[in-house]
Amino acid sequence: MKEFKTNKPKTELSKSKKVIIVVLIFMGGWLLGSGQMNFRSNRASTQKDIPSNLNYAEVERVYDELRSKYDGDLDVNKLMDGLKKGLVAASGDPYTEYLPPAEAEEFSGQLNGTFEGIGAYLGKNEQGNVIVISPVDGFPAKKAGLQPRDVIVEIDGKDSTAYSVDQAVDKIRGPKGTTVKLRVIRDAKEDLSFDIVREEINIPSVESKVINGNIGYMKIIRFGDDTAELARKAAEQFKADGVKRVILDLRGNPGGYLDASVDVSSLWMQDKTVLTERRDGVTIKTYKTRGSSPLLGIPTVVLIDEGSASASEITAGALRDNNAATLIGVKSFGKGSVQQPQNLDNGGILKVTIARWFTPNGKNIDKQGIQPDKKVEISKEDIKAGRDPQLDAAIAQ
């Protein structure tokens, strides 16, 4: 799953030290976004060195040549979508992209937590490989044994090494009950194959319970439409139950709406900065906590891992920088940019990177991630045995 920021509609996952995420959710086959997603309102352009309008004469010439000479059938809608995709892709930013109407509709559905697929988030690493960012607990990808950083090299027997994330998503998604075969390379040495039956994925963004009688456990799977409300209900229930400590689990959370991350952070803090946004090095907006804070003063541990990206990194960074929580786990993904969505007349969506976000202490974590206060890893043996040393460390904190 990116970090988004919004007014309506809202939208916002190696051994390699630098991983470029196009945090795509392919739980049913699409972006979430996003990572890594951050959506927000329109603002004036700072691109002063390029013309206000493009010269389309060469584009028209290409179209005329294609139309008159191409031996095959052409679809004008596909041509227009391809033109828009190419124009946006030329920015060179993996988070700036155009989604055609069908993809835009599915994309919006992902943030609501309902789709059909295998239950995993996809992205790309710096080498351009499509990778698994995070398989989701309880769903086919995780049950089959997919792990973060697995490189997908074949989909249904076809070489996928040159696929874009969009192409991989399109091939992997499909109706529930059908099977997709994935071949992956793990840790640059293991060659593994998985036959995974697709399911309907319906996931509330927040899960909560009380463990050991006095520890409130809250897991946020993504920062979606329902997150702020569900997280607040969980926090108020923790308070009513008299919990002494709280564990906030953001592992495998690829992001979502920036506003949701601000609302969640506000549960622990009063009158504090959650993040600042900068454009061209200048602060353009500061986000402060808002509303009541039922968990104010309650000792809290935040669990993070390499699948924690975007809006989840905003929350983790805000709580730590304001001394409201301790972080346990491994370094987070590292996405520090803000995307703005624009609904287009044809039903498509244009997402544009408009700013970089910084933690309250002034750190931008893009490609660097957030280091935990206490590093605790989960080994392959732990996974096979069903152990969770990170959660154990949080409980013992």
Nearest to 59 by CA among 30, 80, 36: 80
Q: Exactly one of 5, 84, 335, 351 is catalytic; which is it?
A: 335
Q: What is the DSSP letter of 14?
A: -
How far apart are the two ends of the chain, measured CA to CA in Å?
Answer: 29
Q: What is the DSSP letter of 100?
A: -
Q: Exactly one of 310, 312, 332, 337 is catalytic; which is it?
A: 310
**208 flagged as catalytic:** no
C-alpha distances (whole Å) from 241 to each of 206, 213, 244 are: 18, 9, 9
**335 flagged as catalytic:** yes
What gap in Å lies between CA 148 and CA 56, rounded to an integer?
43
202: which residues sit within 8 A by CB, 6+ positions away? Answer: 113, 114
Nearest to 254 by CA among 97, 360, 110: 110
**321 flagged as catalytic:** yes
Return the H-helix or E-strand segment holding 190. Answer: strand 190-197
Q: Exactly one of 321, 332, 337, 351 is catalytic; which is it?
A: 321
Whether the Cβ atoms of residue 311 and residue 256 lie closer than 8 Å to each other: yes
What gap in Å lies between CA 362 and CA 213, rounded to an integer?
38
| Catalytic positions | 310, 321, 335
